[in-house]
A and B are shown apart, each in its own frame.
Chain A
């Protein structure tokens, strides 16, 4: 019997402690070596953008794939993080890392506010409410000219300040390699954080809420409270991504955070594999780097996003993670497992 049309979230292969640590070390090695392999500024930029997208995607997956909340307004939290950190630094002279923490907090609070507001709203209503919220935020960024300079944007945003440790040469973040280490490092940390949460009873609680709120309540789960929690964490991560975006790109315009941006992040989560945490990482990597590889096809990039999203939903709703599971099963030639990763 099929899993009711939801192969997307088939039981995730559990790796033992050693297996997981092995993967973590592997990823750290890849992060360490990447800027050495890619020495030119163009590719390093792509890698940094990729890391930012990973942060956005895993944050959204926490809300959407784990807590089951249809959030179409992720771009708003991204934008709030970017503008909040930048304005705190440029207008109030707040040091970068303090502004960073404040921006994350602000995004997190915004996420919780939206969630509290939407706590009684189901499915589609929440989707539209979050979309409406994203439109409002974008319009505010666009129209509150005295604060944000509107469509003209904010220029000459500085990268994070140099870190000078005693006895070591100072680390400048104008250097793209260092910037990559910083952003990728944070992305990795955030991933670890979410992974730990998800593999704890909190993950089970969120899954319960996602699957069936009514029965979850009967087990003492405060669904509203946990939804707010998930939103808070996911949107805080988006805020961090925004802060890094601003300090890396150096310019900030409201149109970087239009609602279409929510859709591209959504595409990364779905194409990678919703509800698996590693899926969105793959999705972000694929959808960020692949179009760059196909650079000659410039404007085709977004067409690809749309096509990928549609096709994945229609034919492989579990995204890349599901595809890998199916391939693995075929390789093992186990008939029962070939139907999508379910154990007999």
Chain B
């Protein structure tokens, strides 16, 4: 796994700027009687790994869903690289450079592993409309490019050999890696991972951490929602702790572990 193998999507190191890459304030979301997210404010710097942690039911996934556009907030603001996100539908956010994985694996089950990654290249195609019907030279070039890039991404997550297999037939750990490969296919600038380590064994978690480190070295900004404190300790630059939809703490991971309110939330849960 050398640097020269790294797919194009990952090698854009950008100078860090003073303004936060992504920030939100006053985010609120209610479902029926439950206030899932209450007045959440956070800011993420470009190029850092930012973790959102908290006990089960804290509202972490809901927050991620608000950020990626699956839900719209009841109130509050979200800005990504100077673009106002509120009201913007999910598919437009992908074009801005946001990508995500899902807590519940959402692979395209009946497509092959390669097909899953290929489908995620949707925004990158460069084919004149008529060539979708009459497959000309530009079509062939685009297909070749996408195929090569897809294999690169699969290589990055170690799934090259699985390319022709049906996605549903992969073991759980590999399905999670495929999710990661797909998210990277959009060439994101901000990657959001929703409980990426859920259900992985120790070796798989190590491989995941390795990938995240590599991505970070390449300049990717990563937001990770995680349940597992230990995992977060190893890769996060900064951490935000949530409970009952509210902001409990924000700062370096070491401090989080020592914070009384955080400890109470986890022990009490």
Contacts and interface: CB of A to CB of B under 8 A. Distances in A.
B112 A11 contact: yes
A16 to B, nearest CB: 14
A200 B138 CA distance: 12
Contacts of A215: 102, 106-108, 182
Interface in A122-157: none
B90 interface: yes
Interface stretch (B125-133, B214-222, B233-241): B125-133
Contacts of B186: 219-220
B123 interface: yes
Contact of B110 (A3, A204, A219, A220): A3
A211 B122 contact: no
B169 A3 contact: yes
A212 interface: yes
Contacts of A212: 106-108
Interface string A234-266: 000000000000000000000000000000000
B95 A220 contact: yes
Contacts of B182: 215, 219
A217 B90 contact: yes
A196 B129 CA distance: 12
B122 A214 contact: no
Given A3-B168, A6-B109, A217-B69, A196 B133 contact: yes
Contacts of B125: 201
B168 A1 contact: yes
A28 interface: no
Interface in B154-194: 164-166, 168-169, 182-183, 185-186
B262 to A, nearest CB: 30
A23 to B, nearest CB: 16
Interface residues of A, number: 34
Given A218-B94, A219-B94, A211 B132 contact: no
Interface in A183-225: 193, 196-197, 199-202, 204-205, 207-208, 211-212, 214-223
B70 interface: yes
Contacts of B100: 218
Given A202-B132, A342-B169, A219 B120 contact: yes
Contact of B134 (A196, A201, A208): A196
A193 B135 CA distance: 11
Contact of A11 (B90, B94, B107, B166): B166
Contacts of A205: 119, 122
Contacts of B119: 204-205, 207-208, 216, 219
A11 B167 CA distance: 11
B209 interface: no
Contact of A211 (B70, B110, B185): B110
Given A3-B166, A342-B169, A208 B91 contact: no
A6 B183 CA distance: 25
A343 interface: yes
Given A218-B90, A342-B169, A211 B121 contact: no
Interface string A9-31: 11100000000000000000000
Contacts of A4: 109, 168
Contact of B169 (A1, A196, A202, A220): A1
B118 interface: yes
Residue with the highest number of chain B CB atoms closer than 10 Å, among A6, A199, A201 = A201
B89 interface: yes
B115 interface: yes
B108 A9 contact: no
A219 B134 contact: no
Contact of A342 (B95, B120, B132, B166): B166
A220 B68 CA distance: 11
B99 interface: yes
B139 interface: yes
7 contacts: A3-B109, A10-B166, A11-B112, A201-B122, A219-B94, A219-B119, A219-B186
Interface of B: 68-70, 89-92, 94-95, 99-100, 102, 106-112, 115, 118-123, 125, 127, 132-135, 139, 142, 146, 164-166, 168-169, 182-183, 185-186
Q: Which 9 A-B pairs have the closest CB atoms?
A: A220-B94, A211-B108, A215-B106, A220-B123, A217-B90, A208-B119, A204-B119, A219-B120, A9-B110
Given A200-B139, A205-B122, A221-B122, 20 more contacts: A3-B168, A6-B109, A6-B110, A11-B166, A196-B134, A196-B135, A201-B132, A201-B146, A207-B110, A211-B111, A212-B107, A215-B102, A217-B69, A217-B70, A218-B91, A219-B94, A220-B95, A221-B91, A222-B89, A342-B165
